[in-house]
Structure 1
Amino acid sequence: MSATTPRTTDGGSPAGHSQARTMTALLAPLFVALMSISIVNVALPAIETGVGASAADLQWVLSGYALAIGVALVPAGRAGDLWGRRRFFLLGAGLFGAASLLCAAAPTPTVLNIGRVLMGLGAGVLTPQIIGMIQSLFDGAARGRAYGLMGTVIGAAVAFGPTVGGVLIDVAGDDAGWRLTFLINVPVALAACVLAVLWLPQDARGSASPGRGIAGLKALDPLGVLLLCTGVLLVMVPFLGVSVWVGVLMGTCGVAVMTLWVLWERRLGARADASPMVDLRLFSVPSFTLNSLVLSLYFTGMPAVWAVVAVYVQQGLGYSAVVAGLVTLPSAVMVMALSSSVGRRVERRGVIFLVVGTTAAVASMLLVAVVGWLADTVWGAPGVLAAVVALVGLSQALIIPSAQTLSMEQVPTSMAGAAGGVAQTAQRLATAVGIAVLTAVYFAAAESQGHAVGLVVAALVIAGLLAPAAVTAWLIAHRLRESPRHR
């Protein structure tokens, strides 16, 4: 197979179907879906004024999106494996675009939050299809490059979000500006649907398809879907602002329900006539388990950096939303400059990239703490902070394509969508927990000691959370040190 030509499972790919076209069709909606996580951060004050949103409404604007993504990922990944990934990619992109239009036109906070949940469901449906199609369409170095491009999009989307949002609000005004932060998703989602029809191969229709009706529903494992979705909801909802005791109770129940899900999936996996949503033998593949663990640990700490930095620059240093966004630009540039190159070299250097990236992530947080400590000196200026968080971009460029590629390299194609959904769900849960805990830590320290101390404390806690990711990366390197492929 050519390194630049995707393969398909059904032989239906048109001649000359290039990697560039495939990745453009796949990654365009992923970019806006991920940008929607961070672009809203700078739009919250304008949303509050524009539709009269309460603090609880604003919290749902932020977290309802992530919650819906977390619920949809694994069932959607499994559905794509069963009935066709392109079909569910189109469904997810279409739902995301329509929901974005609803949010842009929302007259009330309730309509806005309904739209945000639907946006999250759309993003949760399309994301595992991207991983599944990369896994099935590309091999070897081409797969590494594809995951490298995916890493570029992930980093750029999250980092550019605050800047884009700040510029839109500054240029268009508060009311039109926050609506534009949602409206810009619509043409991208529409274009993604058109490109998917033109450039993505038709879904295979083989004898292994479970069909429709009762047989097809049974193959999706409806009880497994119910248990997992309920468990994810119970674990994530406590981070939306419920009381401590209610949160503890819900979280405990969530862990119990997810334990039941594991037992149920194990039971189905042991039966020859059953079809589990997630074959738990997936976790017996060391490359999948360890590299997914690195990504989950990384996402526990790193996404919270952008929330903390945005608050610190605006409330601590007194700068505008645009400046807060510009502080993240060096990180975004670093990701865009390096991720694709890293992806091309993952086959030979992936484990080394993983070790260096996780170590750089811990070092970057220690340097952020130093910037906060020196807040009253020239070394505490926004430009210095921007240079320091560029190291975050370096870590992201090294870690995401490497861990993503290495985690999926031994996963069977038939399980790729479900595997991608499991990994993405773990990352979304880690992100939700990390952001909730770390913003709480920041505000608690800032309230008593000032924003500079808040930045120092939050950065040190993030460094502590990232340290296990570095340890796990070193463990992976130790396990594979005798493998010529990873030397």
Structure 2
Amino acid sequence: MTPEQSTRWKALTVALVAGFMTLLDVSIVNVALPSIRDELQLSSAELQWVLSGYALTFGLLLVPAGRFGDARGRRNAFVVGLILFTLASAAAGLAQSALWLVVARLVQGAAAGIVNPQVSGLIQQMFEPKERGKPFGLLGATIGVSTAVGPLLGGLLIALLGPSEGWRWIFYLNVPIGIVAVILGMRWIPLAQGGKRRESLDPVGVALLGLGVVLVLLPLVQEREWTGAWKWLLVVAGAAVLAVFWWWERRFRGTALVELSLFKVRSYGLGALIGLLYFAGFTTIFFIYTLYLQSGLGYSALEAGLAITPFAVGSAVASAVGGRFVQRFGRHMVVGGLIAVIVGLAAADIALRLVPGSGGGWAAALPLLVAGLGSGFVISPNQTLTLSEVPVERAGSAGAVLQTGQRIGTAMGIAAVGSFFFNRLAAGQGDWGGAFRGSLWLTVSFVTVALLAALADVLSGRRHRAEGGADRDGGADRDGSADRRDRTEPASGGHRP
């Protein structure tokens, strides 16, 4: 390995560590909510904002931050976001009131939204198309493991340090890691690509997209707190604002915030849809399962985290393996992964029915391992294929749009599945098992629709091949696999080792 190659792998390591930290904070707080509530005397609405406020500002900043990194340099955006995240984490750990903690979480989420699009953008910048399978595989493993291991790590900290200090160390843990990542990021991450351009950042597009995302996400993250049907009018208003945003971007004479022509590329358009739908089901598994284990089966926070660990292990292993073979199997790998997730979750339901009581969580370990393996074959290969034909100079904003869809999917899934779960629980007079199993099958329905989208991409690729060659729109050329041009030629501006 040449010194130049060694440096870019070091840079990737720093970027993945930062991405892991910011994504971990999406799920790690779940098991700490009872401790936070008791310590700071939070109301149910304030508790909801500790959790959902992070997701809201995270989703809001993704696309503008990705665009900024494309135009002004990804290293600077990455470092600034990481410094802000580290400071906000320290502030959250020191919180003495509900307002203090909520504001710190909002800033944390915004900082995470700045950092994350730079990670996928840096992969596009530092690696040629044919080399991206492995780094995107590692990114997929980071996404999957950070989400799944959060409850385990949070439960472990609370078990070791106690309820009053354990939840604070959930945030303090980010501080030393963040400081080291900032120092190493400044040293290893290259200043390249976007730093020399001074094109417009499309402020009107930023404002329209931000308003549209807020209007769509706000009633989703507040679904349990806002009981009236009026809240769904905000989703309609958000859709209208996003339609105006679409109109503006098509007519903007400078460099648009979002390159809408990317959605004409089958690999990008369908890949973004698969990501949205899969995350609507994927993240809700941990939300309802940890509730069921702790409140329904009497598990401690640590035991609940351990029960979910097989999913995390399977996801990590499959993501790393999937990155190596994605160019060979293409979207077929995603299809297989989605099928494995559905089979694993269905088997988990059967295991929980056959082994009632506290043993059910351990009986579901093997099915969850299967579902985790399937998840690993979905997240990183889908990310690789979706971004395979994105020009390097648009890598940050394109990756940010993909992640924004994932955040919207997460909020949409938690709102739908959470509402079903609690309504079923109330109707069943505390039947936690029935509420969980019904919600689990609603989760499976989201994954099934994602499977249909992946199959549509595979079948479309076969049709294009039968009609005489590569997809003229620039999509996949072999049943959903990456474009042959992308496997042999570097994208514009790409790094050559």
Structure 1 residue 244, shift from structure 2 partner? 2.6
Instruction: Indicate whether 1:453 and 2:442 are aligned.
Output: no
| 1:158 equivalent in structure 2 | 147
Partner amino acid, structure 2, of 1:254: G
Measure the CA separation in 1 of the matches of 2:162 and 2:460: 55
Q: Does structure 1 conserve the Cα–Cα contact (< 8 Å) formed by 2:90 and 2:175?
A: yes
Q: Does structure 2 conserve the Cα–Cα contact (< 8 Å) formed by 1:38 and 1:161?
A: yes
- Quickly say closer, same or farther: Cα 1:233–1:377, change in 2 above 3 A: closer
Pairing partner for 2:114 from 105, 109, 125: 125
Instruction: Indicate whether 1:350 and 2:330 are aligned.
Output: yes
Query: Is there any run of 5+ residues in structure 2 with no aligned partner, and where?
Result: 466-476, 483-497
Measure the CA separation in 2 of the matches of 1:352 and 1:199: 36
Name segments (4+ residues, structure 1) moved above 6 Å: none
Q: Does structure 2 conserve the Cα–Cα contact (< 8 Å) formed by 1:372 and 1:455?
A: no
| 2:459 equivalent in structure 1 | 478
Deviation digits for residues 358-389 of structure 1 (CA, Å, limit 9, x no counterpart)? 111222232233234435379x6211122222
| 1:85 equivalent in structure 2 | 74
- Quickly say closer, same or farther: Cα 1:311–1:205, change in 2 above 3 A: closer
Pairing partner for 1:441 from 388, 406, 420: 420
Deviation digits for residues 218-253 of structure 1 (CA, Å, limit 9, x no counterpart)? x11111111111111111111212233331121111
| 2:30 equivalent in structure 1 | 41
Instruction: Indicate whether 1:266 and 2:250 are aligned.
Output: yes
Instruction: Indicate whether 1:428 and 2:407 are aligned.
Output: yes
Measure the CA separation in 2 of the matches of 1:328 and 1:350: 29
Query: Is there any run of 5+ residues in structure 1 with no aligned partner, and where?
Result: 6-13, 211-215
| 2:83 equivalent in structure 1 | 94
Q: Does structure 2 conserve the Cα–Cα contact (< 8 Å) formed by 1:97 and 1:189?
A: yes
Pairing partner for 1:285 from 240, 248, 265: 265
Q: Alignment identity in percent?
A: 37
Q: Does structure 2 conserve the Cα–Cα contact (< 8 Å) formed by 1:87 and 1:203?
A: no
Query: What is the root-mean-square deviation of aligned Cα atoms in Å?
Result: 1.8
Deviation digits for residues 75-129 of structure 1 (CA, Å, limit 9, x no counterpart)? 0000000000111000111111110000000110101010001000110001001
Structure 1 residue 20, shift from structure 2 partner? 3.0
Measure the CA separation in 2 of the matches of 1:128 and 1:84: 12
Structure 1 residue 471, shift from structure 2 partner? 1.0
SS in 1 for 2:390: coil
Instruction: Indicate whether 1:67 and 2:33 are aligned.
Output: no
Deviation digits for residues 379-418 of structure 1 (CA, Å, limit 9, x no counterpart)? x621112222222211211001111000111111111111
| 1:410 equivalent in structure 2 | 389
Pairing partner for 1:321 from 294, 298, 301: 301
Structure 1 residue 334, shift from structure 2 partner? 1.1
Measure the CA separation in 2 of the matches of 1:254 and 1:376: 44
Structure 1 residue 19, shift from structure 2 partner? 4.4
Measure the CA separation in 2 of the matches of 1:104 and 1:205: 35
Deviation digits for residues 169-202 of structure 1 (CA, Å, limit 9, x no counterpart)? 1111111100000110111111111111111112
| 1:104 equivalent in structure 2 | 93
SS in 1 for 2:132: helix
Structure 1 residue 293, shift from structure 2 partner? 1.1
| 2:366 equivalent in structure 1 | 387
Instruction: Indicate whether 1:223 and 2:207 are aligned.
Output: no
SS in 1 for 2:356: coil
- Quickly say closer, same or farther: Cα 1:382–1:128, change in 2 above 3 A: same
Partner amino acid, structure 2, of 1:308: I
Partner amino acid, structure 1, of 2:331: V
Q: Does structure 2 conserve the Cα–Cα contact (< 8 Å) formed by 1:373 and 1:453?
A: no
Measure the CA separation in 2 of the matches of 1:372 and 1:452: 8
| 2:350 equivalent in structure 1 | 370
Partner amino acid, structure 2, of 1:228: L
Partner amino acid, structure 1, of 2:248: W
Measure the CA separation in 2 of the matches of 1:261 and 1:480: 30
Instruction: Indicate whether 1:134 and 2:123 are aligned.
Output: yes
Q: Does structure 1 conserve the Cα–Cα contact (< 8 Å) formed by 2:152 and 2:305?
A: yes
Measure the CA separation in 1 of the matches of 2:193 and 2:380: 27
Q: Does structure 2 conserve the Cα–Cα contact (< 8 Å) formed by 1:156 and 1:333?
A: yes
Deviation digits for residues 293-321 of structure 1 (CA, Å, limit 9, x no counterpart)? 11111011110000111001111111111
SS in 2 for 1:15: helix
| 2:473 equivalent in structure 1 | none
Measure the CA separation in 2 of the matches of 1:246 and 1:126: 34
- The count of corresponding residues between Structure 1 and Structure 2 is 463
Pairing partner for 2:239 from 255, 258, 261: 255
- Quickly say closer, same or farther: Cα 1:92–1:456, change in 2 above 3 A: same
**TM-score, structure 1 length as denominator?**
0.91
Mean alpha-carbon deviation: is it higher for 112-121 or for 346-355? 346-355
Measure the CA separation in 2 of the matches of 1:205 and 1:353: 33
Measure the CA separation in 2 of the matches of 1:103 and 1:29: 18
SS in 2 for 1:22: helix
Q: Does structure 1 conserve the Cα–Cα contact (< 8 Å) formed by 2:317 and 2:373?
A: no
Pairing partner for 1:469 from 450, 454, 472: 450
Measure the CA separation in 1 of the matches of 2:165 and 2:297: 27
Structure 1 residue 206, shift from structure 2 partner? 6.7
Q: Does structure 1 conserve the Cα–Cα contact (< 8 Å) formed by 2:193 and 2:393?
A: no
| 1:144 equivalent in structure 2 | 133
Pairing partner for 1:398 from 377, 381, 384: 377
Q: Does structure 2 conserve the Cα–Cα contact (< 8 Å) formed by 1:368 and 1:459?
A: no
Pairing partner for 1:235 from 216, 221, 227: 216
SS in 1 for 2:192: coil
SS in 2 for 1:302: helix
**TM-score, structure 2 length as denominator?**
0.90
